[in-house]
Amino acid sequence: MSEKMIDPNELGEKVVKVLKTIYDPEIPVDIYELGLIYDVFLNEDNDVKILMTLTSPNCPVAESLPQEVKDKVAEIDGVKSSDVEMTFEPPWSKDLMSEEAKLELGFL
């Protein structure tokens, strides 16, 4: 029985879709639109690595939010493993938010 080939683009879209279901508890916008996800890496073994930040290093969800991201991405059918790397370089700013998020929060 051969493993079904998984289209990396399709899997990447699934990862983004899941990221858009995770919200910063203090801001009513998902973490993807908020600009907290800096990059999503997917290798040929379907290991996913996410480079993300928080709105502040002192964010009250500094422990739980990255774990939630890791767990939810790991549950995606086809993902072999997930890892989240936190960075504060460059620091998060409102400029990283999508137009949709800025509109939602009244910044436009």
Q: 85: number of CA atoms within 13 Å, CB side?
A: 10
| Residue bearing tokens 């990447």 | 12
Name the domain count of the chain: 1
Query: What is the span of the domain harbouring residue 50?
Result: 8-87
The pLDDT score that the predictor gives to residue 4 is: 61
- Please say if the pLDDT value at position 45 is more than 70: yes
Asked whether the beta carbons of 73 and 79 are under 8 A apart, the reply is: yes
Looking at the domain assignment, is residue 27 inside a domain? yes
Q: What is the pTM of this model?
A: 0.90
Helix (H) or strand (E) holding 103, with range, is helix 99-104
What is the domain-level CATH number for residue 29?
3.30.300.130
CB atoms within 10 A of CB 66: 19
The pLDDT score that the predictor gives to residue 6 is: 78
- Please say if the pLDDT value at position 3 is more than 60: no
The pLDDT score that the predictor gives to residue 75 is: 97
